[in-house]
Amino acid sequence: MVDNYLRINTLKFRTIRVFLALSLIFSTLNTLQAAPSEGGEDEAFNPGDMIMHHILDSHTWHFWDGFTVYLPVIVYSKEYGLEMFSSKNFFDENHNTVPYKGYRLEHEHIVHESGAKIYDFSITKNVAALFLNAIFMLVVFLSVARAYKKRQKQAPKGLQSLMEPIILYIKDEVVKPNIGKGYEKYVPYLLTLFFFIWFGNLWGLLPGAANLTGNIAVTATLAFFTFVITNVSGNANYWKHIFWTPGVPLPLRLIILPVELIGVITKPISLLIRLFVAISAGHIVILSLIAMAFIFHSWAVGIGSSLVLVFINLIEILVATIQAYVFTIFTSVYIGLATEEAHH
């Protein structure tokens, strides 16, 4: 499994380098050749802006031309109190940004013309996607739970039969062997972690979807939960190995102690960066392939990039599952190391 994971990621990042380089070269050539004239022609297509618009968070959820969902804006400041309104107020008929009640939208950050400090609690695209992902999980697992109650001592059926082997695999092959004794109390968190990441990764591959698990704030929050659960669960043996490593001469302990403390922090950081980079990179590759047809204005390039796009999407479906698996198994390993009893 690990070998396959490494092969897939090696292929994926080689593909990323190739297509990002091609996209940069072609977009530069296109900008030079198709720059707007002084007569006021339409601006050249900018693939960089298109890609960043789709992978970054936003106060609107744009699906296609003519269909945009304007999300609620919720802001608070000491000077003006709590304000709630639709993000549609920030745009005119030509979709140019305009001020509203003194508030302005600058690069997806809300500011006030008075310079007052603004606390933004708005429902952005990624927040809305997070809620939808959570609702989807509730619908799926409440449905599975009802099926178990109705069909006690019967073979699983329908959605129940789909989810049961995945749940059992995570519990018996990922959580149990890596945590060991007392693993049961961590199963709910680790199952929630796996399915939240997995569903979020798969949703992100749909046209017009949000880049939920490619948002570093989301991956950082998941990693923070792992960090807290791991260190709160840490027993005396775990902390002894960090602060007073047995069997090591005293001078070396002075070197090992800061290394161990850094390791406590870098473990969750590695989790958040791995997921963030893998998912964001996949979206960039897919969007770069789509952009190539518009850069060249060629049906031949469009067909070629579409064929490659199908292949990349198939890889991304596999990577979406692998990334959820990797995040979950490493979390299980960290918890297992923190709860492991001393060997005599």
- Same domain flag for 243 and 318: yes
Output the DSSP codes for 241-306: HHHS-TTS-HHHHHHHHHHHHHHHHHHHHHHHHHHHHHHHHHHHHHHHHHHHHHHHT-HHHHHHHH
- Same domain flag for 110 and 196: no
- Same domain flag for 177 and 275: yes
pLDDT tens, 98-136?
Answer: 899 989 998 888 999 988 899 999 999 999 999 999 999
Residue type, 142: L
Burial of 119 (0-12, 13-18, 19+ CB in 10 A): exposed
- Same domain flag for 74 and 211: no
Q: Is residue 3 part of a domain?
A: no
Q: Which of 16-25, 68-77, 124-133, 219-228 has the lowest mean pLDDT?
A: 16-25
- The residues, any chain, with a CB within 8 Å of residue 325's CB and separated by 6 or more, are 174, 194
Residue identified by tokens 């609702």 is: 135
pLDDT attached to residue 209 = 85
- Same domain flag for 113 and 232: no
Q: Is residue 186 part of a domain?
A: yes
pLDDT tens, 133-178?
Answer: 999 999 999 999 999 888 887 888 888 899 999 999 999 999 999 9
Q: Which domain holds residue 83?
A: 59-123
Q: Is residue 334 part of a domain?
A: yes
- Same domain flag for 196 and 295: yes
Domain boundary among 97, 123, 149: 123
pLDDT attached to residue 342 = 66
Q: Is residue 178 part of a domain?
A: yes
- Same domain flag for 112 and 182: no
Q: Is residue 144 part of a domain?
A: no
Q: Is residue 333 part of a domain?
A: yes
15 has pLDDT over 70 = no
Q: Residue 76 to residues 62, 113, 120, 274: CA-CA distances in angstroms? A: 25, 14, 7, 34
Identify which of 146, 152, 83 has the alpha carbon closest to the alpha carbon of residue 119. 83
Residue type, 121: F
- Total tally of structural domains belonging to the chain: 2
- Same domain flag for 111 and 212: no
Q: Cα(223)–Cα(268) distance, rounded to whole angstroms?
A: 5
When pLDDT is cut at 50, 70 and 90, the band that residue 249 belongs to is confident
pLDDT tens, 189-205?
Answer: 999 999 999 999 999 98
Q: Considering just the CA atoms, what is the radius of gyration of the chain in Å?
A: 24
- Same domain flag for 205 and 267: yes
Q: Is residue 68 part of a domain?
A: yes
- Same domain flag for 238 and 119: no
Residue type, 64: W
pLDDT attached to residue 43 = 57
- The residues, any chain, with a CB within 8 Å of residue 86's CB and separated by 6 or more, are 70, 71, 72, 73
Q: Is residue 235 part of a domain?
A: yes
- Same domain flag for 218 and 305: yes
Domain boundary among 67, 100, 123: 123
